[in-house]
A and B are shown apart, each in its own frame.
Chain A
Amino acid sequence: MKDQMIGSSVRRVDHEAKVTGRAQYLADMKFPGVCCGKILRSPIAHGRIRGMDASAALRVPGVLAVVTRDDFLNNSRIDPYYGPVFKDQSIVALDKVRFMGDPVAGVAAVTESAAEEALAAIQVDYEELPAVFDVLEARREGAPLVHEIIRVPPHGFEDLAGLRPKESSNICTHFQLTRGDVERGFAESDHVFEDVFTLPDTQHSSLEAHAVVAWVEPGGRIVVWSTTQNPFVIRTQLSNIFRVPVSQVRVLVPYIGGGYGGKLYPKLEPLAVALALKAQRPVRIVLSREEVFLTITKHAAHIRIKTGVKNDGTLWGRECEVLLDTGAYAEIGPRVAKKSGYTAAGPYRIPHVKINSYCMYTHKPPAGAFRGFGVSQSAWACESQMDIIAAALKMDPLELRLKNAYEEGDTFATGETLTNVGLTDCIKRAARAVGWGDRRPRNSSSPLARGKGLACLIKATITPSLSSALVKMNEDGSVNVYTGTIEVGQGSETVLSQIVAEELGLTMEQVRVAPMDTDVVPYDLTTSSSRSTFHMGKAMQLACQDLKGQLRELASQLYKVPKDQVRVEDGKVTIPDASLSYREILCTRFGMSGGNLVGQGVVKTSMLSPTGEKSTSAFWFLGAGAAEVEVDRETGRVRVLKYASAADVGKAIHPLGCRQQLEGAAVTGVGQTFFEQMVFDNGQLINPNFIDYVLPSLLDVPEVIESLMVEVPHPEGPFGAKGIGETGLIPVAPAIANAIYDAVGVRIKDLPITPEKIFMALQAQREGTTLEDR
């Protein structure tokens, strides 16, 4: 009997190349004639460009091209404005600069040092303007405006239709969600809680910096190699900017050294193409680490959450106001804010809900997608407050969650029915893994105190969306697979190969994923939103089924048997009295050893479910995390002894890959819980390096991380699978904050949870006790 393919942690197809150093990332690749591109960035946070003189830069020996706004003003061949939602970014600054680091000019030169010298020779005259650096300031009446006019493209994303910038304000978008009557909900509640939580800007910190190589072929065709997670979006945007048909843009992507959301949407590509057009040479831009910090961040957030609860712990009303700091450009911020809003009330049945989530402009680097996509922000508030409520009601936080958590068939805040919901299982298993309820006796003479905490989540995947796949069978029955999914490390090449191998009864060796090239592979929206296994995996399965249908049809014709008597299974085509290999079918069909059969699969999700009900998400991610911590009461330092991460994965196609995703997300979560934070001084980022922006190391992670997979299969996922890339990150910070509260009784509401914050809170707690005693 052949080995089980689905559910087996087969050897990953990308790993041998990676452990031998032979896997090629963009900066490793050689391009004949390539020159070096560099970016001049704004030294001020907000200002009008009065004048610019780049003539001296052009005289620097070795300089091939300088691109400034002069190249785009009155140039009908290029539309310099772009952006995934609103066209508020431009290739280089045209009228204003909007953050310290905003690209002002680009240079291409034969050497890096010539490019650097040329940057220094560009003269820019700025009229400095007042700036805003946080969402509350940005919202004030009369605050300096980041954008005076915002261009809205005619064909935007369907799920964001209707979201518009608010004129003469810094509100980029405002999303509202209402269910029931929240004021009535509060009035009918026995207790009402109101708290404010904040999170700072953080950065993806992929070890691989963003890079691009671009050139323009004679005839005008644009070729771009990029470290992007969504090449098809890049292709569309470049086609719009440079006013050429989509077919005239080719985007290729090699292996990527970590994305986590930071490599979505246009980054360096528009400028690199503009430079390449002018230099008539391939141009390579590789960002420095400091520039990476200025290119994309995770949204800082300010969240006010008000909750009404009955005496028995039933949640009765919840109002959330989420302010997300999207920085100087919208990027994908409007969707982040919308997603954040959808689930801001948490994974709970609440009859009265009112949510306002705002995407706000400020004069900071643009914020975009980050693993967790708005939900790690709102869950920080919601899941922390759950424990505030539990403490006030003297309820077990586990019991409070189980009492209110979504179960199969519950109605979501949007009014739609939730199905395939493994949430309570996740909560129970995570809690059990840290020994919930077992109390260690506290040693009163020791400064160390232990505690346990929980958090859970619900998140939507991008809907509607589109994934298509091609499976091309060769003359020997082996297949090449064409997919737009990017291997960012998540293991997509392996999982997609497993699905194909299972469906066609092939070995892993017989399946080969083709390199990513928009000229070759069919359309896929994006590698993000934890969507690839569900969407692309299903598209692959459908492509294989299409191929099997063709094989059945062929066998029926070639061997003159009724179609219903032909079976395609276990890698063979069976007709009455004979079993034929794929090779035999193809050979008979083409009369030679050659030729292909091509199967196609398309998955298009919609905002309406198959039954016609509203559908916010093609599937929901559900999960929970539980932490056990030890707090040093004298210093405020925290050690995470154990962290358990539970996710409803639907079906674990590659269990080791699932474990890696859950654990990896937990590790990032630990960094964001305790120390990751971009620190700005009047708009200037003061820690754009890994000495001062600290990432978690082997010594910082929990002593034990346990990954628990709950499998509630999804009928539309391949073999029941759902996505899990983000699930593991979202509950980490609140679970740890709740464990700290359990250990020492202080509640930290602002991330990161530094030892100092705990220490100061403990000091305040001690003083508070003294006051009461008096």
Chain B
Amino acid sequence: MSRFITLSVNEVSRRVEVEPRETLLEVIRDHLGLTGAKLGCDIQVCGACTLLVSGKPVSSCSFLAVDADGCEVTSIEGLSCNGRLHRLQEAFIETGGLQCGFCTPGFILTAKALLDEQPHPSEEQIKKYMAGNLCRCGCYQEILDAIQKVAGRRAVQNG
């Protein structure tokens, strides 16, 4: 019943054998060893398992791996480049947008998807886009600051 699927994970092509019931999260963590995405609620509420599939955020805990066949997948491990942090990663550190860090990869990937789609989101847009990621340590204000900081910097660069 298992079959082979091909994924481009952080721009590297990977061929993986999966069973239909396996989730993308299981494949990314257990088969490919990328453990930045976490299992949190297992029910698409908390966002700790967020991955980008074709640039869009999904709950990988509930996303069948077979369904990702042929897709581009971005995980948190794909964000920093040559040891340099992504602007969002840097901003989360600067503003203090994390404490225990368990939700952080999901937050950063979701924020990346938002800014890729809409480089200058309003505060309201950020809140609505990010409201589906939960931070139990409660760093919401700092997370908002971090995203606004990056969005603002882009505005300057682009303007």
Contact = CB atoms under 8 A, between A and B. Distances in A.
Partners in one complex: yes
Given A20-B77, A21-B77, A24-B35, A489 B101 contact: yes
A310 to B, nearest CB: 40
A53 to B, nearest CB: 30
Given A16-B93, A258-B100, A207 B132 contact: no
A302 interface: no
A701 B141 contact: yes
B76 A20 contact: yes
A71 to B, nearest CB: 30
A258 B85 CA distance: 24
B143 A664 contact: no
Contacts of B133: 698
B100 A701 contact: no
B99 A490 contact: yes
A192 B99 CA distance: 45
B89 interface: yes
B136 interface: yes
B99 A489 contact: yes
Interface string B120-153: 0000000110111111111111111000000000
Contacts of A666: 138
B23 interface: no
Contacts of B92: 15, 19
Interface stretch (B1-9, B36-44, B62-70): B36-44
A522 B107 CA distance: 36
B101 A698 contact: no
Interface in A192-237: 204-209
Interface stretch (A425-433, A474-482, A655-663): A655-663
A289 B105 contact: no
Contacts of B73: none
A258 B137 contact: yes
A257 B38 contact: yes
Interface in B26-82: 29, 34-43, 45-46, 48, 75-77, 79-80
Contacts of A690: 40-41, 43, 45-46, 134
Contact of A667 (B101, B102, B138): B138
Interface in A311-356: none
Contacts of B136: 204-207, 258, 260, 668, 695
Nearest to A292: B41
B138 A207 contact: no
A260 B99 CA distance: 12
A417 interface: no
Given A19-B93, A20-B77, A25 B102 contact: yes
Contact of A16 (B40, B85, B108): B85
A689 B139 CA distance: 22
A701 B37 CA distance: 25
A696 B104 CA distance: 16
B75 to A, nearest CB: 7
Interface in B100-114: 100-105, 108
B119 interface: no
A15 B88 CA distance: 13
Given A665-B138, A697-B132, A255 B144 contact: no
A19 B131 CA distance: 19
A489 B104 CA distance: 12
Given A207-B103, A489-B101, A689 B131 contact: no
Interface residues of B, number: 50
A699 B128 contact: yes
Contacts of A508: none
A14 interface: yes
Most chain A CB within a 10 A radius of its CB, from B43, B77, B132, B138: B138
Given A695-B136, A705-B141, A21 B34 contact: yes
B98 interface: yes
Contacts of B108: 19
A17 B98 CA distance: 12
Nearest to A689: B43
Given A18-B104, A690-B43, A699-B128, A668 B138 contact: yes
A28 B39 CA distance: 10
Contacts of A21: 34-37, 75-77, 104-105
Contacts of B102: 25, 206-208, 257-258
B89 to A, nearest CB: 4
B147 to A, nearest CB: 10
B47 to A, nearest CB: 9
B52 to A, nearest CB: 13
Contacts of B80: 20
Interface string A692-718: 000111110100010000000000000
A23 interface: yes
Contacts of B29: 28
Contact of B104 (A19, A27, A288): A19
Nearest to B76: A21
A181 B33 CA distance: 66
Contact of A207 (B48, B77, B79, B143): B48
A6 interface: no
A288 B96 CA distance: 29
Contact of A12 (B37, B93, B135): B93
A170 to B, nearest CB: 32
Contacts of A18: 98, 101, 104
Contacts of B48: 207
A15 B93 CA distance: 6
B38 A489 contact: no
Contacts of A16: 85, 93
A25 B38 contact: yes
Nearest to B80: A20
A80 interface: no
Contacts of A771: none
Contact of B100 (A209, A256, A668, A689): A256
A484 interface: no
Contacts of B76: 19-21
Contacts of B75: 21
A691 interface: yes
Most chain A CB within a 10 A radius of its CB, from B29, B127, B133, B140: B140
Given A19-B108, A20-B89, A207-B38, A488 B100 contact: yes
Contacts of A77: none
17 contacts: A9-B96, A15-B92, A20-B89, A21-B35, A21-B37, A204-B136, A207-B46, A208-B102, A256-B100, A260-B136, A489-B101, A489-B137, A656-B96, A690-B134, A695-B46, A695-B136, A698-B127
Interface of A: 9, 11-12, 14-25, 27-28, 204-209, 255-260, 288-289, 488-491, 656-657, 659-660, 663-668, 689-691, 695-699, 701, 705
A-B complex: 3 closest residue pairs judged by Cβ atoms: A21-B36, A489-B100, A667-B138
